[in-house]
Structure 1
Amino acid sequence: MATFIIGLAILFVGAALYGKFCEHVFGPDDRKTPAYTKQDGLDYVPMREWKNSLINLLNIAGTGPILGPIQGILFGPIAFITIPIGNIIGGAMHDYFSGMICLRDGGTQMPDMIRRYSNKGVYTFYQIFCSLLLLLVGAVFIYTPGDIAATQVFGFDGSATSVSTWVIYGVIFVYYLVATVFPIDKIIGRIYPIFGAILLFSAIGVFIGLFVKGYPLINLWDSWNGALVSYGDYFSANHFIPIFFITVACGILSGFHSTQTAIISRTMKSERQGRMTFYNMMVLEGFIAMVWAAGAMGVYNLGLQAADAGLATATIGVVCKDILGPVGGVIALLGVIVLPITSGDTALRSLRMAVSDALHIDQKNVKKRLGLAAVIFILVAVILVFAKSNAEGFNILWRYFAWSNQTLSLFAFIAISVWMFENGKARFVWMPLIPGAWYAFVTITYIVNAKIGFNVPWGAAYVIGIVAAAAYVGLILWYGKKRAARKAQKA
């Protein structure tokens, strides 16, 4: 338990210090925000800080900070240290600067941010890559909450041949369509406070329960191989780097988050709300990841659930019901279901906004929004049917989702770095470059080795990953300096 507590101290103390530093580097001021200068009653709508923060938290926190840590904790107590450190210097910094740059640039969406701070080739690749990821997010975040609801709340079998499965999927699908098309303050802004209350009950309830129930958690200095679970052997056999950092996606870093902070950049009343809305909400997601990692380790060590990465969704129900009892467990499960649903709806909303901006499709008319949304939802439905009908469909879907989620962050780090060069902050460019270089190494090494990628042996994959990370940093430094020099000449 001591290592878990140390990790939480690192998370919250580190966030207070580094979050303040990020705010100092960006320099928020009192200029009018796009919520006022472009107010349209649809996407540009001034909303209160607490509501923006809550919406952003629910937008970014899908099943990643739950399923990821449940699988990642099999690597042992090292997870309790790597999650908070990566969160503060990587994920929260990524979310803060992505959201704030979009805010200052007029409420632009991420494709526009990438286009402005890179070149046409990078922008085109990003647009395609991001669109594919958002489609995957939409499908994954119908599949996972739907299956959890079917099997652990209603007691159905959750099979592809059961009508109940598709009815539950259909209900989620309809909600996504409504949330994607209608004004953000009419649907999302009103429903999310209720969802937020359920989420807080779930996360805080499990956290308190860890101590009340006295869950046995292993420390860094203990033996990692216990009578029931051999964390040390798992760590040695499964390539902690890069596998852990792909598995524990959203609790540490998620490229998907930048697409969500961009949405909130259109509803903020003041730039000074950015630290709470963007940085601190990612820290809360890190807390959720820590809680679920600890809960999973506890039930594994007690023998209440088999320590198997493939049983992650079953582990959720065991943790909830053992800690909070039958009724509280069901409410906590609802909190788990809320997370992906409140990410899936805005993932598809941001995809609609990005496509409409790129193709200059007017979205003021409901019929036009429905027309564009219909195309997007048909594609999501195709992916969902494949994932559910094929025996290996969801495993394939999840692996591509996890890898592409982390890879997308590399584009945001490029844009943040170039923005710093152009805005007289080049001395701070190490802030995006350190996590950017790390995840360039992680994602390239993973996909080069993975069976869903190029299936290259580990030794060669590590070499390729190192070379790719070095090239990534070198190209950013070269391009950033070039852009800064060009801007200085124009001035």
Structure 2
Amino acid sequence: MVTFFGALLFLILGYVFYSKFIEKVFVVDDNTPTPAYTKRDNLDFIPMSWWKGNLIQLLNIAGLGPIYGAVAGALYGPVAFIWIVVGSIFAGAVHDYFSGMMSMRHGGAQFPSLVGRYLGKHMKLFINGLSLVLMLLVAAAFTAGPAQLISQISPISFMVALGLIFFYFILATILPINRIIGRIYPFLGGILLFMAIAVAVALVFSGKPMPNLTFSNLHPGELPIWPLLMVTISCGAISGFHCTQSPIVACTMKKETDGRKIFYGAMIIEGVIALIWAAAGMTFFSGTEGLAAALAAGGPSGVVNEISISLLGTMGGILAIFGVIILPITTGDTALRSSRMIVTDIMSKFMDMEGKWKILLVTIPLGIPTFFMATIDYTFLWRYVGWTNQVVATVMLWTATVYLLSNFKFHWIAGIPASFMTGVVATYIFYAPEGLNMDYQLSMIIGFCITLVVLLWYAAQIIKYRALKAADAEPNTA
């Protein structure tokens, strides 16, 4: 129990102190009008209060990610707590803050536009495709599960449920953000928080011993911690999907000082949720072997359902079913909305994209492949979401690093986690079954070599911008 509460305390302290340091490095100015006012269109650019922005951001980035991912990551034992805490404070929250604040500073720019500005047009082309693939995969993966559950507990067939969900997706994508998302998301975000807090309180008073901190790998399948844990627990530590969602809320900010509460704050809250569910998974099933057996029998949804009903009774069961249906849908719809905004941003360079019919014409072609992908097995889709997601996160951290370098600011706050995540994704793709499925030691060597090349590029960027700064500092003697 000491380990759990210690981890919780570190997350809170991370927000109280480190978020203020990050804000100080970025340098906020409330006298600068935000895009919500300067580009107001009553569709995407609409001023909203910071607390609504925080809960919308939380629901956009969370869904079932910090629940399912944390439960799966709990198989590694209490070392998962370390990754959740360190990842959330120093990587995930930094990633989310810069993706949101840089978008706001650049007029509500989408993630690929930021990448193009700071990492070049070739990287922008790559990330345009990768971001769209990631969001369509997320939308599909987070739709299949709810549709299956609806068909199991009601007379509605899977395909009809899928159709109803996608009809909602289209509405949420083309309507102004304050019509559906701005009205119901704060309420649903509150339910997500209530569900996690209720589980935590019930767990503390359940009498079951919580695991103590150990750096040992307790995975029953003897899977290596590096780099699998960092991909298994993404939401709740660091997730690339977040940087595709941050611009949605960045377009609604009233002032720059709201960014710390919205972006850094939402990520820390997500970390708390992940911490609670990781602890619940390890504690409720009396260790990682019991958790592994439960996951094999009923999957993540079965584990969540059993924990909720056992700890919270009938109300817990209702919340679990509600969460498993509603929360993924709220992530899927904003994934599709982000896709629409990115494609609209691309097409606006070639033609006028004003008008609801043009927005609808962009949305439908994105929805069709997503609909058919949702008929594919959820676990198969999710395997490919993991690596794609963390590659996007790594690129965003490097984008933030170059932004800080180019503005002669303290770049290490983004550069160090970017380097770490480069090692994760460079190793994972060679070792993972959905990747090249190579020998672990060989994957480690190749991953190290790739990371070294990227670090050499980083060193070259540091030298480049230091030279530019020195040139600017030299007096003009002409």
Shared fold, TM over 0.5: yes
**In the TM superposition, what are the counterparts of 1:61-76 in structure 2 within 5 Å?**
61-76=62-77
Give the alignment of 1:216-255 within 5 angstroms.
Answer: 216-220=209-213, 232=218, 234=220, 237-255=222-240
* Contact 1:195-1:335 within 8 A present in 2 as well: no
SS in structure 2 of the partner of residue 269 of structure 1: coil
Residue of structure 2 aligned with 1:203, choices 180, 196, 206: 196
1:187 is matched with 180
Determine the structure 2 residue equivalent to 1:315.
Answer: 303
- TM-score (norm: length of structure 2): 0.92
1:396 aligns with 2:383: no
Task: Kindly report which structure 2 residues correspond to 1:56-455, keeping only aligned pairs within 5 A, or say none.
Answer: 56-151=57-152, 154=153, 164-220=157-213, 232=218, 234=220, 237-301=222-286, 306-308=293-295, 311-360=299-348, 362-385=352-375, 387=376, 393-425=377-409, 428-455=410-437
What residue is the counterpart of 1:390 in the other structure?
A: none
What's the TM-score once normalised by structure 1's chain length? Answer: 0.90
Structure 1 residues 149 and 320: CA distance shift in structure 2, 3 A: farther
* SS of the residue 1:117 aligns to: helix
Distance 1:381 1:244 in 2: 30
Q: Deviations over 1:432-467 (max 9, x none)?
A: 121111111111111111222112211110011111
How far, CA to CA, are the matches of 2:100 and 2:366 in structure 1? 24
Contact 1:199/1:336 (CA < 8 Å) preserved in 2? no
CA separation in 2, counterparts of 1:256 and 1:344? 11
Cα distance in 2, alignment partners of residues 266 and 304 from structure 1: 41
Is the CA contact (8 Å cut-off) linking 1:33 and 1:271 kept in structure 2?
yes
Change (3 A) 1:483 1:143: farther
Pairing 1:23–2:23 present: yes
Are 1:320 and 1:333, in contact at CA under 8 Å, matched by a contact in 2? no
In 2, Cα distance between equivalents of 1:5 and 1:149: 36
Cα deviation, residue 233, structure 1: 5.5
Q: 2:5 corresponds to which letter in structure 1?
A: I
Q: Residues 388-435 of structure 1, C-alpha deviation per residue, up to 9 Å, x if partnerless? A: xxxxx433211110111111111111211111111120xx21111211
Judged with a 3 Å threshold, the aligned counterparts in structure 2 of structure 1 residues 363 and 216 are, in CA distance, closer, same or farther, namely farther
Counterpart contact for 1:422–1:480, Cα < 8 Å: no
Q: Distance in 2 between matches of 1:408 and 1:304?
A: 30
Return the alpha-carbon distance in structure 1 between the equivalents of residues 315 and 193 of structure 2.
16
Letter in 1 for 2:385: F
Query: Post-superposition shift, 1:5?
Result: 1.3
Change (3 A) 1:41 1:155: closer
Structure 1 match to 2:476: none
Q: 1:336 to 1:25 in 2, by over 3 A?
A: farther
Deviations 1:99-122 (A, max 9, x none): 111111111111111111111111
Q: Does the 8 A contact of 1:198 with 1:334 survive in 2?
A: no
RMSD: 2.2
CA contact (8 A) 1:421 1:483 kept: yes
Instruction: Give, in whole Å, the separation in 2 of the partners of 1:45 and 1:232.
Output: 48
Identity rate, percent: 41
Mapped contact 2:281–2:291 kept (Cα < 8 A): no
- Code of the residue aligned with 1:374 in structure 2: it is I
Conserved 8 A contact 1:418-1:483: no
Q: In structure 2, do the counterparts of structure 1 residues 458 and 304 end up closer, same or farther at CA, with 3 Å as the change threshold?
A: closer
Deviations 1:215-258 (A, max 9, x none): 33221259x8xxxxxx73537x2101111111111111001101
Mapped to 1, the partners of 2:40 and 2:151 lie a distance apart of: 40
Residue 459 in structure 1 maps to residue 441 in structure 2 = yes
Compute the displacement of 1:489 (Å).
6.9
